[in-house]
């Protein structure tokens, strides 16, 4: 009996441990969603070799970068509405607040949001930074009124560390060391100040994201987490620590593609958001040297945002959870850097609607191969459900990207967007349909791209794409 007691002891230990191993094996994967504001595909891994983005590039190298991802709207609020609901929605920046007010009044008035769906399926959901339209997800004069929420019932914690910027509104457009935007004409368009990452708001957002990662991975409740981290840069004003601007000293930027203002009717605008800042009485459309300065500062902000992504992913690895976490990086829309003589977003050109999307998770097939198939932001919600093993809700408008993750060359689908008009992008064309019946059609098979309207030359294409656009939006109308 004495010789067999170690065997009995071993069996007792195994019987104690095995249920816990089974529970661990059955645990759903975590989700880390990284939202980057105003980030066009200005990344080395998207073909921009002059950009220093090593952390996002490394993510793409072990995941799937979707090189033809298009957002639903060229504005923050409406684009994030599409991401966070998985549906085509209203075009205005107040879309999430309108939805949130109705949900607060009647929780059954809308289906669950993206994070709410995961929360209902056993996840702890946490948001840090700018994930919905307002950093921290609240309304009020300073965006810190806890009785006004953009995303009711969605988050266990919805956080924005304002630090010296005092409140979320201050952080949103903050420059170094607590400078808050009042009169935009008195705030510099761009800035690069010596100091650590924390002298700009994204440094504090990332610090809090690391804190939340530590809390989530140390929790003993056995629940997986859904952590969304929203980085504000490269949103205006273009402020980043000087070390990131130094990366572009002596770097030659390529010429601006089609920099001329359109002569035909389009969704062109006068870059009002950009022009209202202090530009030292200079205009990048007429001052090539100044245009280059603006582009370098945008690039510096991209590298600053990339560094914050690196900090979060490195901490994820340190917690030991990287091998059980799906990581998604998403740009909320594109941004013009002088194309069509626009500096900003808001138009329905390619530059406003094309943004990066990367999905990465352990043991995914063909890591590092990018996909050139067209996909949309509304596809992210159902994709994460399928990858995580959750049911895909029947109310989403998007399609799972799992086939493209299995095979990067699998077929995608046309992409729809909307602002003051509506647009559909296919492999070969973009149609922009104005509310009064005027149409723009651009043929991407030609070198003209989106500079020559061929609607009169290709009426059958206009008719076909208009029918598809109307069918898809009418089908999903609520």
pLDDT mean for each 10 residues of the chain (478 residues): 36 35 60 98 98 98 98 98 96 94 95 98 98 97 97 97 98 98 98 98 98 96 97 98 98 97 97 98 98 98 99 98 98 98 98 98 96 98 98 97 97 96 98 98 96 98 97 72
Token reading at 74: 């060229």
- Which residues form the catalytic set? 76, 133
Output the pLDDT for position 27. 82
Q: What per-residue confidence (pLDDT) applies to 3?
A: 35
Q: How far, in Å, CA of 363 to CA of 347, rounded?
A: 39
pLDDT on residue 127: 98
pLDDT given for residue 20 in this prediction:
33
Mind spelling out the 3-state secondary structure of the chain? CCCCHHHHHHHHHHHHHHHHHHHHHHCCCEEEEEEECCCCCCCHHHCCCCCCCHHHHHHHHCCEEEEEEECCCCCHHHHHHHHHHCCCCCCCCCHHHHHHHHHHHCCCCCCCCHHHHHHHCCCEEEEEECCCCCCCCEECCCCCEEEEECCCCCCCEEECCCHHHCCHHHHHCCEHHHECCCCHHHCECEEEECCCHHHCHHHHHHHHHHHHHHHHHHCCCCCCEEEEEEECCCCCCEEEEHHHHHCCCCCCCCCCCCCCCCCCCCCCCCCHHHHCCECCCCCCCCCHHHHHHHHHHHHHHHHHHHHHHHHHHHHHHHCCCHHHEEEEEEECCCCEECHHHCEECCCCCHHHHECCEEEECCCCCCCCCCEEEEEEHHHHHHHHHHHHCCCCCCCCCCCCCHHHHHCCCCCCCCEEEECCCEEEECCCEEEEECCCCCEEEEECCCCCHHHCCCCCCCHHHHHHHHHHHHHHHHHCCC
Bridge partners, residue 33, by sequence = 228, 328
- pTM here is 0.94
For residue 234, cis peptide bond before it (omega within 30 degrees of 0): yes
| SS3 per-residue string spanning 32-44 | EEEEECCCCCCCH
**pLDDT for the residue numbered 309:** 98
Q: What is the pLDDT of residue 155?
A: 98
Across the strands, what pairs with 124?
225
At 354 the pLDDT is 98
Is domain 28-412 classified as CATH 3.30.530.20?
Answer: no
Token code pair at residue 211: 């804190």
The full set of domain ranges for the chain reads: 28-412, 421-478
For residue 476, the model assigns a pLDDT of 56
**Angstrom distance (rounded) from CA 134 to CA 157:** 15
Q: Which of 344, 342, 346, 436 is nearest to 92 (CA)?
A: 346
How far apart are alpha carbons 288 and 269 in whole angstroms? Answer: 20
pLDDT value for 198: 98
| CA gap 474, 347 in Å, rounded | 23
């Amino acid at each position: 009996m004495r010789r067999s007691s170690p065997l009995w002891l071993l069996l007792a230990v195994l019987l104690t441990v095995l249920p816990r191993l089974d529970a661990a094996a059955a645990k759903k994967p975590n989700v880390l969603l990284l939202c980057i504001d105003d980030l066009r595909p200005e990344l080395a891994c998207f073909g921009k070799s002059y950009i220093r983005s090593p952390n996002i590039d490394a993510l793409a190298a072990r995941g799937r970068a979707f090189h033809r991802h298009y957002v639903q709207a060229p504005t923050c609020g409406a684009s994030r509405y599409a991401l966070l609901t998985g549906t085509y929605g209203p075009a205005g920046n107040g879309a999430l607040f309108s939805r949130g007010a109705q949900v607060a009044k009647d929780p059954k008035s809308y289906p669950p949001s993206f994070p709410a769906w995961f929360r209902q399926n056993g996840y702890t959901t946490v948001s840090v930074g700018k994930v919905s339209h307002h950093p921290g997800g609240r309304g009020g004069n300073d965006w810190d009124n806890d009785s006004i929420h953009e995303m009711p019932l969605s988050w266990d914690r919805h956080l924005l560390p304002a630090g010296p910027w005092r409140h979320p509104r201050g952080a949103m457009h903050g420059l170094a060391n607590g400078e808050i935007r009042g009169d935009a004409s008195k705030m510099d368009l761009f800035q690069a100040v010596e100091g650590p990452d924390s002298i700009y708001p994204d440094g504090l957002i990332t610090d809090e994201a690391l804190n939340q990662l530590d809390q989530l991975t140390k929790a003993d409740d056995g629940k997986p987490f859904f952590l969304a981290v929203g980085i504000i840069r490269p949103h205006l004003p273009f402020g980043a620590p000087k070390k990131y601007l130094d990366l572009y000293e002596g770097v030659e930027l390529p010429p601006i593609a089609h920099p001329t203002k359109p002569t035909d009717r389009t969704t062109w605008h006068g870059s009002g958001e950009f022009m209202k800042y202090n530009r030292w009485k200079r205009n990048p459309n007429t001052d090539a040297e100044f245009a280059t300065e603006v582009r370098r500062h945008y690039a510096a902000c991209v590298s600053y945002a990339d560094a914050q992504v690196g900090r979060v992913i490195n901490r994820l690895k340190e917690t030991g959870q990287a091998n059980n976490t799906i990581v998604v990086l998403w740009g909320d829309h594109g941004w013009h850097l002088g194309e069509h003589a626009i500096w900003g977003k808001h138009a329905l050109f390619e530059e406003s609607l094309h943004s990066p999307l990367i999905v990465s998770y352990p043991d995914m097939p063909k890591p590092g191969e990018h996909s050139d198939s067209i996909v949309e932001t509304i596809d992210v919600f159902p994709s994460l459900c399928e990858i995580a093993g959750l049911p895909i809700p029947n109310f989403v408008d998007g399609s799972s990207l799992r086939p493209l993750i299995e095979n990067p060359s699998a077929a995608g689908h046309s992409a729809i967007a909307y602002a003051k008009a509506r647009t559909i992008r296919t492999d070969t064309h973009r149609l922009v349909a104005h509310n009064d019946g005027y149409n723009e059609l651009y043929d991407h098979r030609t070198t003209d791209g989106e500079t020559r309207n061929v609607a009169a030359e290709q009426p059958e294409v206009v008719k076909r794409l208009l029918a598809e656009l109307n069918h898809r939006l009418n089908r999903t109308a609520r």
